[in-house]
Every structure is written in C-alpha cells, then in structure tokens.
Copies of this chain bind each other. A is one copy, B any other.
Amino acid sequence: MFVTNTPVPLTERDLTQDPEDCPVREVLDRVGDKWSVLVIVLLGQRAHRYGELHRAIDGISQRMLTLTLRALARDGLVERTAHATVPPRVDYELTDLGHTLLAPLTALDRWAQEHREEVRAARERHDRANG
C-alpha cells in the first residue's frame, strides 16, 4: 500500500517547534482519545442517531458519547442535526471535512491489522527477556 510514491518525510517545522504547534500532534490530540475514532468510523458508514451510536459502541457511557460528539462537532468534523420531534431525534453525520479524515484513519487501521501480530510477538519477546 502506498501513501505516496516516495513517502514525504514530515517536514522540519513539525518537529523543531514545541509540541503545542505540531500538526500531527494536533490530530492525535483530538482523535487519540478513547472514543473519537470509533465514532468517526461509524459515522463514515452512514449518519447515525445518538441512540444508535450508543448501542453500537460497546461500553461507552452516555456522558462520554455526548462529550465526544460535541468535541467533534466543535472541530467541524461532525454535524449535529436536532429534529424538533417527540421524542427528540438527533442525527449525527460526518461533514466533508470529517470524511477527508477517513482515509488517513483507514491507513492507520490497515497498519494495525497487518502488524498486530508482530507487535504482540515483539512485546512477548521483550517481556520474556526483561521483567
């Protein structure tokens, strides 16, 4: 799999500055939490209602789902649509911007699936060698 023909190394400016101002870290700060990726990927398939997401993501609390969705909406990755029906109905869907994030996440997921076993093996080796 290719990301580019000749993978562009991250630029100087990503690194020589304080971590606060590093692009990669910025993404990871908003997507590196426990639930965001799960939400993004589900919404990448189709729009979901709040309750659907809640049922689909095993183990998430209502509070965390709310907070995660709000944070994603704040950054323009997710759009919230509240219908004034009763009982209330709220749809969430990826924005165009959100959709563009799917490809990089998919790349990462691919890597994870392909190298999962290697990582597990390396860790076992390491743990056996040391403590």
Which residues of A pack against B, CB within 8 Å? 1-4, 7-10, 14-19, 22-28, 31-35, 37-38, 41-42, 44-45, 56-60, 73-77, 97, 100-113, 115-116, 118-119, 121-123, 125-127
Contacts and interface: CB of A to CB of B under 8 A. Distances in A.
10 contacts: A1-B4, A3-B3, A3-B104, A3-B106, A3-B110, A10-B106, A23-B112, A28-B108, A31-B32, A104-B108
A6 to B, nearest CB: 11
Given A45-B9, A74-B127, A122-B74, A110 B104 contact: yes
A76 B123 CA distance: 7
A74 B128 CA distance: 11
- How many copies of this chain does the complex contain? 2
Contact of A103 (B3, B34, B41, B118): B3
Contacts of A33: 32
Contact of A27 (B45, B76, B97, B112): B112
Contacts of A77: 119, 122
A109 B23 contact: yes
B59 A19 contact: yes
A48 to B, nearest CB: 12
A113 B23 contact: yes
A1 to B, nearest CB: 6
